[in-house]
Amino acid sequence: MTNCLIVFTRYPEAGKVKTRLIPVLGAEGAAILHRQMTEIAIAQVKKLQSSLPLSLEVHFAGGDRQLMEQWLGDDLLYPQQSEGDIGMRMASAFQTAFTNNMDNVIIIGSDCPTLNSQIIAEAFQALSQHDLVLGPATDGGYYLIGLRRFIPELFTGISWSTSEVFQQTLEIAEKLNLKVAYLTELSDVDRPEDI
């Protein structure tokens, strides 16, 4: 059983990350927060790797592979995110992972500091009996999505970056008769009030 965990993040360049937090934290402060949250996410996944064999990939935007290696280490895979909206980028990441013979694939972002290795382990466990695993975020989106086969319909017709994302994803899952598992609801850090 080959498990793959993909972390979506951006290179922490001031002014290019967490832009909705810049009015409160400033460009440098928003970049520092983003850097810390990504490092927390990677640490949680590495902790999980000690008990669960899994491939860890950091799909990035901004910067380049060399900058990512200097930041997070050269022991990780760093594919660049594809073009398009977040749905197209996630669909592309899932499709590539399944093409590379992965059995269970989970994507997380780097903006949910309370997401820990135990919750990610639960998600992988749930994939043994479900088609889709979702970690609902308090803002109406999701902080984790897991699949055991590529289901492109889950990434089209969604109003990304709105409070409708989770509900729209569920409606598509129901139409496709997917077995869905839900994780604990957690908060993302996207807007000033989330801090």
Buried b (16+ CB within 10 A) or exposed e, 42-58: bebbeebeeebebbbbb
- pTM here? 0.96
Q: What is the mean pLDDT of the chain?
A: 95
Name the pLDDT band for 190 (thresholds 50, 70, 90).
confident
Q: Specify the CATH number for 3-194; select among 3.40.190.10, 3.90.550.10, 3.40.50.2000, 3.40.50.720.
A: 3.90.550.10
Mean pLDDT, residues 139-143 taken together: 95
Whether residue 195 is predicted with pLDDT greater than 80 in this model: the reply is no
Q: In what order do the strands lie in the sheet with 3-10?
A: 54-61, 3-10, 104-108, 142-147, 132-136, 180-182
Strands 3-10 and 54-61: parallel
Strands 132-136 and 142-147: antiparallel
